[in-house]
Chains A and B, each alone.
Chain A
Amino acid sequence: MSIILDQVTKHYGGVPVVNDVSLDIGDGEFFVLLGPSGSGKSTLLRAIAGLSGVDHGRIALHGRDVTHLTARKRGVGLVFQNYALFRHMTVADNIEFALRVRHVRGKLRRQRRKELLRLVALEGMDERLPAQLSGGQQQRVAVARALAHKPEVLLLDEPFGALDAKIRDELRRTIREVQRELGITTVLVTHDQEEAFAMADRIGIMNLGRLLEVGAPHDLYSRPATRFVATFLGAANLILARRTADGIQVCGTTIAAADRTPAANEHEVVAVVRPEEVELAPARAALTTNYLAGGVVEEVVFTGALERLRVRLDAAAHTPLLAHDGSDDNASELLQVTRTQHEQRGFAVTPGQNVAVGVRRVHVLPTPLSSFTACAASAQLAEALGREPLLVELAARMKTRITTRSEPKMGVAEALCESADFVGTTVIASQTDCAHRSEWLLRRGARDLLVLPAGATAPQRVLIHWMGEAARNATLAMSASVLRHVPAEAVYVGIFPGQAGGRGPHGMRELLDARSEAQAAHGLEMRTEMRFGEVAEELARRLAEAPGQMLIVGVTELTRFAERFRALLDGGQWPVLIVYRGAP
């Protein structure tokens, strides 16, 4: 491995800008770090270059631990967005800079310079000053300069950002060719997904300081694991669907899922439908694919090779479309469609036209967090709960919806639920008899339950614990899903009965197992802590230690639940997300 990052973390003013990033980049690989601005990708690149230190974690280049080495000793080449050429030096002096620093003899320097100028196609420009070159040429000089000392790793920080489209294309090709010719491990940082697709062997997608997913461009595009990646890489329609024994049920139509995982019981999922996987036809019978719903074309935009449409699905279809991008509320009800010239010729549409909508392929996100249902004793209370700031923030970040549900008899022993169908994560307000109400809901079919204190805000730390191995996987998946949308640190709290030291070595192994499973199976980086005592009491004590904490707890057993969880749930000032995976 050429570059190894192990739990790299960097804070600015208490906020993690790079949060627990672990990554291996192979020899000669062209790796692209992709993310929106402020996602921490540039900071991570600077950390690899050694220009900014890390608060936690390790960085190794070619098997050498460089975490504490300064930039000048790391042997990397770095190219900046604004070229950062030395303006008072000629092209030749710029390129030879690294060689002069190393006291390389004049003849060898000249030779290397000629070689590099040929590589970036700038022969004969030796004596020019940077000011006399175009932007594209300056960036070529910067690339040549970064390669002069034969670095082991080439780092590119948005190198095409300041160039116009045509030059950008040319330079992209040059850089890719140079990279292939030299076989140098390269990391490129960009916010442009097209650029990432065009250049990368593998792409790593960052958001809120976390590395969300890593994979080949095609895999990430066709099988994203998170809704952020699904919507950030290309356009995507997110639809709330149900996983049933037969497949994916969307608006009453069941579509065989591309990935078949046996579903133990029916539950709500988030389905991704790419705009190019949608088919339009004049009538249901004319569709060659699975019928989704009828709809009305609202907007047609011709963009050359493709046609972009927005289709409003019939209200009768009850299609729970989620917002594609948080900015445009109105768009959440519209299905995005793109069609090729060929499809346009087959069936031309105009705005206002009624069409039948079919879907070729549906991908289901593995995230356990699909939507939220605010549940209270009356519709009014449920409405109020649905406006809680943390809940609204979480839903906005996840681009999902909040529905309401009233349960007038909540907590009344022997009383039945209004409906046994619990959709998504059920949310209840934190109050005095919360533990009792939680048990009541869990016993009646709720699986994921968020207990929310009034006025809670996004946590800085999420504590994770599970009671019983059956809940381990679900708890970790839920934690990973929550932490992808909240810039908080994850801490697994292992709790063992008895006094400190009683089960030292054994407990330690459990903690490490939990950590490595979280990382391997869910891409979740978490710290670990060990405590001793009664579980619920210890968790409550830990939560009371600092403000801004949240708990995600896995539960397999409901016996004496209310009694056991009273300290944790009743009137607590912290949000608690209960993941119940036991016999219904």
Chain B
Amino acid sequence: MSFRQASVLPGFGLTFGFTTFFLSTMVLLPLAAMVLAAGSMHWSDFVHVVFSARALGSYRLSFGASFLAASINLVFGFIIAWTLVRYEFPGRKLIDALIDMPFALPTAVSGIALTTVFAQSGWIGRYLEPLGIKVAYTWLGVTLALTLISMPFAVRALQPALLEVQRELEDAAETLGAGRFYVFRRIILPTVLPALLTGFSLSFARAVGEYGSVIFIAGNLPMKTEITPLLIVIHLEQFDYQGAAALGLVMLVMSFTVLFAINLLQAWGRRRHLQAASS
């Protein structure tokens, strides 16, 4: 690799230096500190904290609900992005702006708002109650909160990709005899697949790390509706820094694994593309 490359912004050396500096001080260094803190633990203590029934329950909820939320966002995020890209209707700009609301709101506000609506006496909760569906203070509520706050990531990742799907491609496919579902499966989906995966991983990552909105609607019952970030905070409140770091390490490893797997999937898709091209 050469450090002399022509570019609009001057000084590859300078910009590259800043990039590594930023990543080091803001991301890698704190993470390393956390790993060190966890590493200073005794092995049996570490296992005790990390594999306690309460911790295992929290992983299941955190990653399960995040996965579910990201999947929901994949489907509905696609629909929203499609609507915004493909149709002209009054208020389109407004809706487009509203998508970003969860970005801007303090997550606690989203949590409180959701709880108000979905609590047993809330606007929607009171109608779900007779049907036997409880949202607030169950895993459903957790999923709902995570879906809400990670939705913008899916929509914003998909929008530019959908803009690129030319109408002409669909027209061409239609004149060649393809039905709507066929066009969707064979033309639209393959074109936006990388963006779908990006949207999925972004909203998954956001959901796993979410704390503020969940604690209001979750009820936080150990083993049932307690997410891992909350468990970490509980450890911290008891001044158990090492226990918190240990749980943090587990989250780090698991999140990294999932994101890495998605990245591999994307790379594999690209390679397959190129292979087809070069053979």
Contacts and interface: CB of A to CB of B under 8 A. Distances in A.
Contact of A88 (B171, B176, B177, B273): B273
14 contacts: A49-B171, A71-B174, A72-B174, A72-B177, A77-B176, A84-B169, A86-B169, A90-B277, A97-B178, A97-B186, A127-B279, A129-B277, A145-B176, A146-B176
Given A72-B174, A80-B172, A86-B172, 19 more contacts: A50-B175, A51-B174, A71-B174, A75-B177, A77-B176, A78-B175, A82-B168, A86-B169, A90-B276, A97-B178, A97-B186, A98-B176, A101-B176, A102-B177, A129-B277, A145-B172, A146-B176, A148-B176, A149-B176
Contact of B190 (A74, A88, A146): A88
A78 B167 CA distance: 14
B187 interface: yes
A477 interface: no
Interface string B191-205: 100000000000000
B260 interface: no
B178 A129 contact: no
A contact face: mostly helix, strand, loop, or mixed: loop
Interface string A430-467: 00000000000000000000000000000000000000
A127 B175 contact: no
B277 A128 contact: yes
Nearest to A49: B175
Given A49-B175, A70-B174, A87 B182 contact: no
A74 B177 CA distance: 8
Contact of B177 (A51, A86, A87, A101): A101
A395 interface: no
Contacts of B190: 88
Contacts of A97: 173, 176, 178, 186
Closest 4 CB pairs of A and B: A98-B176, A84-B168, A84-B172, A78-B175
A48 to B, nearest CB: 11
Interface in A534-576: none
Q: Which of B168, B174, B177, B190 has the most CB of A within 10 A?
A: B177
B19 interface: no
Nearest to B169: A84
B128 to A, nearest CB: 42
Interface band, chain B: 20 to 34
A78 B187 CA distance: 17
B118 to A, nearest CB: 41
Contacts of A84: 166, 168-169, 171-172
B179 interface: yes
A132 interface: yes
Contact of A71 (B166, B168, B175, B182): B175
Nearest to B164: A87
Contact of A101 (B166, B182, B276): B182
A240 B105 CA distance: 74
A101 B185 CA distance: 12
B172 A149 contact: no
Contacts of B277: 90, 127-129, 131-132
Given A101-B176, A101-B182, A149-B177, A51 B171 contact: yes
A76 interface: yes
Interface in A78-104: 78, 80, 82, 84, 86-88, 90, 97-98, 101-102
B175 A77 contact: yes
B178 A101 contact: yes
A129 B171 contact: no
Given A72-B179, A101-B178, A149-B177, A78 B172 contact: yes
Nearest to B178: A101
Contacts of A87: 191
Contact of B276 (A71, A77, A102, A127): A127
Interface in B103-117: none
Contacts of A82: 166, 168
B185 to A, nearest CB: 11
A78 B166 CA distance: 15
A74 B166 CA distance: 22
B175 A86 contact: no
Nearest to A81: B168
